[in-house]
Amino acid sequence: MEQIQAHRGGALHRAVTVYLFNPDGQLLQRAREKYHCGALWSNTCCSHPLPAEESAVAAHRRLLKEMGLRVELTPVFQLHYRLPLPEGLIEHEFGHVFFGITSRTPAPDPAEAMAWRWQTLPSVAAQLAREPARFTPWFRLTMDRIPEYHAALICMPGLSADYCTLPRRLGTALCRARPGLWHAATRQNPDTVSSHA
């Protein structure tokens, strides 16, 4: 099923969502240049796996295409949502959310992103509270959960900072702090509808 068909009919389909942070803990946001929700601020990258494509592969593929970045990504959580979009479209997705850390400067595809910025999570939360209409619906939905998982990344008692790479440390921290959520996040969900990116 084509992506636009899924959005017009509200068919359930898979999605991937990427949140990138720099070593200072700032979130890389981008303003979309898409056929829906254009010019709204969102997370670093959002897209859809190709038919039979694993979610992690899709996340890496689209991050490179949209923001020009190759970054190790860690699956963090999954969610199912159905949200109305402008022009009568419906975002009905089973989403896989990934985190990554990079100090590189993005080189976005102009057809995918019209602007980008590094923002602290408190700054994002404050702007979201003041002007929610400036953000995509799925970003507004997921943002409440992001600080908790980001805190797990930077606060891990008893785990040496040089134990392993930061994405691996995130997985270790989540496994210790929230084992039920972590195991759920790493299980693959059967595809209901696959849509093209």
Q: Which are the contacts of 76, defined by CB distance < 8 A and separation ≥ 6?
A: 19, 97, 98, 99, 149, 170, 174, 185
Q: What are phi and psi of 21, to 5 degrees?
A: -120, 155
Q: How far apart are CA 88 and CA 8, in angstroms?
A: 7
Structure-token pair, residue 142 = 């997921």
Of 37, 45, 46, 66, which is the active-site residue? Answer: 46
Strand segments, DSSP code E, in 48-132 are: 73-84, 90-101, 113-119
* CB contact at 8 A, 185 and 75: yes
Provide the 10 A C-beta neighbour count for residue 116: 16
Residue 22: DSSP 8-state: -
Catalytic residue selected from 37, 45, 66, 93: 93
Distance of CA 186 to the CA centre of its chain: 15
46 is catalytic: yes
To the nearest 10°, the Cα dihedral for 185, 60, 16, 54?
-70
d(CA 8, CA 6): 6
DSSP letter (8 states) at residue 163: S
Instruction: Supply the residues annotated as catalytic.
Output: 46, 93
